[in-house]
Amino acid sequence: MEALVIGSGIAGMACALRLAKQGIHVVLASPYPSERSQSVMAAGGINAMVSGNEEGDSVESHIQDTLKGGSGLGGEEAVRGMCEHGGEIIRYLESIGTVFSVDGANKPVRRAFGGQSHKRTYYCGSATGKQIVSALAMECRRFEAFGMITRRLRCSFHSALIRDGAAYGALLYDEASARLEACYADFLVMATGGQNALFGKTTGSSLCDGYAAGRLFMQGAVLKNLEFIQYHPTTLETAQKKMLISEAVRGEGGRLFYVENGERVYFMEEKYGKRGNLMTRDVISREIYATGKDVYLDISFLDGQTIDERLPEVRDICIKYRGIDIKKEPIPVSPSVHFFMGGLAVHLNHETSLRNLFAVGECASIYHGANRLGGNSLLSAIYSGFVAADEIAGRAPARKYPDFTAFMEDERRLLKKSSASKSTFPVFYIRDMLSMTMAEHLGIVRDEKGLEEGLTDIGYYLSIAEKIRYDRSVPAYSNFSLKPILCIAGATLASARERRESRGAHFRSDYPETLERYGYATLVSYQDGKFQIRPDQEHAYES
Ligand SMILES: Cc1cc2nc3c(=O)[nH]c(=O)nc-3n(C[C@H](O)[C@H](O)[C@H](O)COP(=O)(O)OP(=O)(O)OC[C@H]3O[C@@H](n4cnc5c(N)ncnc54)[C@H](O)[C@@H]3O)c2cc1C
């Protein structure tokens, strides 16, 4: 039996390892020359209730916090499964070499994150993602040595091999040979992360561009909850991206302010009292947006040793990227796109609407509902990888692969046309325009008019993309990814327009209330070039 896993972030590697352990050969494809991914950026930690470390906490409390954070749209059964397995996942990570931070008595330490009723975030200094990724990568190498995992580096997902509603592997674009190759598999697992690059500069990786989910959407997969996009309130602008300024700064007493008539205005404290700076990410992001001013985060009043001990990564980022010494001066901050609650719709077993096609990690939508709690995504990435692998291990392999020669030849012809084309169609120009459209109309605060305008823009970009499809001055990937990226962007705008209420990370200035009649997840499918939106009654909110 053979599985093809696309994406070697935490979710992809966790899934590949669990499959390999159960005797299933895995091909693990990644566009990088190594296991690099957005997962390495995770700093804050991973949530879990580990028995023996309760200190008043419980699995039930983790479940309730997660469901509440998701405004009732996270699937309850799924959330329950994830939280119940938190302890087992921490133990697993330790067993493969992840070193979590401990106190003087050698007991694991935990930190608090917004929306949690207890301290349950395990961390590895300020490098949780790096620690977990390197432990998983070493383990993958071990299974590679046994012949159970084959890595395909510099290979991007191009399209799925789909016949009669079932997947039989994928076409991979091999950057080295500039060729499309068919990779047949009994099961295809997508672990391609979020849609960051639709928005230009974000806290995440520009390789997480939504292409894979967009292409699958065009091939018949259903997407879910796309309108729920988490903005992180405190990020630092740099040339390439918005660097995350961890919630830990506010946890240590950091104060947000703007300047008016030469005086500091601590707007969060004025409105919400002493805990104002620790309100949830969506609330702070909206308040910063509402000031219309340059906002700063000050921690310089803390003594230097405490900053060195507890906030070393923030100190480094500010010095390295902007020459700001946080011991002496405030940090200029602004909200930025950070995490995608929406993605490929999956059942409890992580199978998508297409048979034998699974989605895990941030590219799947199931646990986080309308908003995600910090620290829950690393947990969901690993847990979802395990769930999909266990489901696959219990299934029978495809007896015979259908013939995809015609499909492959068509796609190869289009690619060839790309390299022979004389057109200088500006793909990157459209991508830049797309980022502007998304930032303008799918920001922290949305309204009907803006969303309509955004959809009109996408329609226009799509019409150009249809006419002149190729730009020789950019890599082939940038050409073939354009239309699916525009489609997922359009589906996101359409989903946000249809939700005429405010809930979690989705805030509509024209519909500011949360309405019971919208207590369901949004499903969107692609039919004849149109986005069909419908409610997911399975995950309807029971109030
Ligand atoms: C700055 C930052 C800090 C964060 N901190 C935390 C934290 O402290 N705690 C927490 O729980 N979460 C945190 N998160 C969120 C968390 O890191 C992610 O949700 C999680 O790592 C996602 O893992 P993943 O494996 O699903 O995807 P990723 O790690 O994003 O991996 C996706 C993989 O898919 C590959 N890929 C994409 N497109 C294609 C394609 N077309 N073909 C082939 N491969 C493709 C990418 O190259 C990558 O290898 C943070 C996120 C950011 C950006």
Pocket residue to mutate for ligand 1, from 37, 158, 159, most atoms within 8 A of Cβ = 37
Among 116-125, 323-332, 371-380, the minimum mean pLDDT is found in: 116-125
C-alpha 307 to ligand 1 mean position (Å)? 28
pLDDT of residue 44: 82
The better pLDDT of the pair 29, 52 is held by 29
Cβ atoms of 533 and 497 within 8 Å: the answer is no
C-alpha 192 to ligand 1 mean position (Å)? 8
pLDDT in tens, 205-246: 888 999 999 999 999 999 999 999 999 999 999 988 999 998
Report the pLDDT averaged over residues 427-439.
93
Average pLDDT over the chain reads 92
Reading the block at residue 422, the tokens are 């004389």
Q: In what order do the strands lie in the sheet with 166-174?
A: 155-163, 166-174, 179-184
pLDDT of residue 126: 76
pLDDT over threshold 60, residue 445 = yes
CA nearest to 365, candidates 215, 494, 522: 522
Distance CA 213, CA 201 (A): 20
User: Alpha-carbon torsion 131, 18, 31, 377, what sign?
Assistant: negative
pLDDT of residue 371: 94
**pLDDT bucket at 543, cuts 50 / 70 / 90:** very low
Proportion of the chain above pLDDT 70, given as a percent? 96
Report the pLDDT averaged over residues 516-529.
94
pLDDT over threshold 90, residue 537 = no
C-alpha 194 to ligand 1 mean position (Å)? 7
pLDDT over threshold 50, residue 79 = yes
The better pLDDT of the pair 425, 483 is held by 483
Structural domain spans, the chain: 232-337, 412-521
C-alpha 193 to ligand 1 mean position (Å)? 5
Length of the chain: 543
pLDDT of residue 421: 55
pLDDT in tens, 329-356: 999 999 999 999 999 999 999 999 999 9
DSSP state of 2: E
C-alpha 406 to ligand 1 mean position (Å)? 34
**pLDDT bucket at 419, cuts 50 / 70 / 90:** low
Those residues whose C-beta lies under 8 Å from the C-beta of residue 268, and which sit 6 or more positions away, are: 255, 256, 276, 277, 279, 284, 287
Among 73-82, 257-266, 367-376, 408-417, the minimum mean pLDDT is found in: 408-417
The ligand 1 atom at the shortest distance from the C-alpha of residue 204 is: 53
Report the pLDDT averaged over residues 245-273.
93
pLDDT over threshold 50, residue 155 = yes
* Residue nearest atom 20 in ligand 1 by C-alpha distance: 39
pLDDT of residue 310: 81
pLDDT in tens, 460-509: 999 988 776 567 777 888 888 999 999 999 999 999 999 999 999 999 99
Q: Does the domain spanning 412-521 belong to CATH 1.20.58.100?
A: yes
Element (H, E) at 255: strand 255-260
pLDDT of residue 469: 58
Pocket residue to mutate for ligand 1, from 123, 192, 485, most atoms within 8 A of Cβ = 192
Cβ atoms of 353 and 213 within 8 Å: the answer is no
* Residue nearest atom 10 in ligand 1 by C-alpha distance: 375
Distance CA 229, CA 243 (A): 17
Distance CA 226, CA 78 (A): 19
Cβ atoms of 223 and 488 within 8 Å: the answer is yes
**pLDDT bucket at 542, cuts 50 / 70 / 90:** very low
DSSP string for 318-368: HHHHH---TTTSPEEEEEEEEEES-EEE--TTSB-SSBTEEE-GGGEESSS
- As annotated, the active-site residues are 281
Query: Which amino acid type is present at position 195?
Result: Q
State the residue for tokens 């979710």.
Answer: 11
**Topology (CATH level 3) of domain 232-337:** Flavocytochrome C3; Chain A, domain 1 (3.90.700)
Pocket of ligand 1 from Cβ distances under 6 Å: 6-12, 29-32, 37-39, 41-46, 128-129, 156-157, 191-193, 203-204, 207-208, 211-212, 244, 339, 361-362, 375-378, 381
